Amino acid sequence: MVEEVGPGVTDVAPGDFVILNWRAVCGQCRACSRGRPWYCFSTHNASQKMTLADGTELSPALGIGAFAEQTLVASGQCTKVDPAIGAATAGLLGCGVMAGLGAALNTGGVSRGDSVAVIGCGGVGDGAILGARLAGARTIIAVDVDDRKLEWARDFGATDVVNSRATDPVERIRELTGGFGADVVIEAIGRPDTYEQAFYARDLAGTVVLVAAAGRSSRPGTETACPAVTSRCWWACIWPAACRWTSSCRKPSAWTRWKRPSPR
């Protein structure tokens, strides 16, 4: 709920019920101009520092500080929504749902009749499953280690589920896709081993979308230091010769690792 607005703010007003966007796109930069706002280079963030009462400056997490009771954001980070939705539901739209839907619809380009595998069925993965369903995917395979999450994944549109504690997800995804692998595999966990599963579970003409970025502590030597990975450009890692980031990549081993031909 907007409590106060600064001078010159006209798009939101006190009393408005809004969700906060941690990547609030500008609509004008070269990425936005190309119709690819998810690569926006000039996202909105508050220019005024948020402080405690004693003047101590605070750094809002992801530019929005959504875990605090009160926060200070740029007006462009607010999107008005119908208050009838309720805060607990609307809040999910600001991050996980958008990330998952975008991975399926925009980055993955899922279209009618595709086979899609989603590894990791939390909020982001379920958003990807929903996006694949909206796009008309024929087969949607959900992979997780938690049977309860896999049941929820069915509610979002998964046609098949795989508990990867009990079943090799790569083998099962291939079985469910005529032996070829999925047209689009979306990784929504952020671990090098699930990145690898995603890679081998795709059709040779398929696409892998990495939504999550692995932490540096995930496994020594395989952290995703290559910025191409965190900027969602998987192909740049498979084909480093075409990678605009190669010259600045701090860990060449991170991407050469992915050059291995598939299948194993």
The nearer residue to Zn ion, 38 or 245, going by C-beta atoms, is 38
32 contributes a contact to Zn ion by CB under 5 A? yes
For the record, the structure tokens of 65 come out as 């500080």
Between 38 and 180, CB nearer to Zn ion: 38
Nearer to Zn ion, 40 or 121 (CB): 40
Query: Interacting stretch for Zn ion, rule CB under 5 A, among 33-41, 46-54, 119-127, 198-206?
Result: 33-41
32 with 26: CB under 8 angstroms?
Answer: yes
Q: How far is the CB of 31 from Zn ion (least distance, A)?
A: 5
Longest Cα separation, the chain: 64
Tokens for 121? 């069925």
Question: Contact at 8 Å (CB) between 226 and 255?
Answer: yes
Q: x/- contact string, 39-58, with Zn ion (CB under 5 A)?
A: -x-x----------------
**Shortest reach from residue 9's CB to Zn ion, in Å:** 20
Distance CA(25)–CA(35), nearest Å, equals 11
Number of residues forming the site for Zn ion (CB under 5 A): 6
Choose between 7 and 35: whose C-beta lies nearer to Zn ion: 35
Q: Which is nearer to Zn ion, 25 or 101 (CB)?
A: 25
Tokens linked to 233: 């450009």
Q: Residue 102's closest CA among 232, 201, 193? A: 232
Q: Which lies closer to Zn ion via its Cβ, residue 32 or residue 236?
A: 32
Over the window 11 to 30, marking each residue x when it contacts Zn ion by CB under 5 A and - when it does not, the resulting string is --------------xx--x-
Rounded (5°) CA angle 12-18-24: 80
**Contact region with Zn ion (CB under 5 A), list: 37-45, 66-74, 107-115, 161-169:** 37-45
Residue 158 in contact with residue 176, Cβ under 8 Å?
no
The SS3 call for residue 94 is helix
Q: Using CB under 5 A, list all residues that contact Zn ion.
A: 25-26, 29, 32, 40, 42
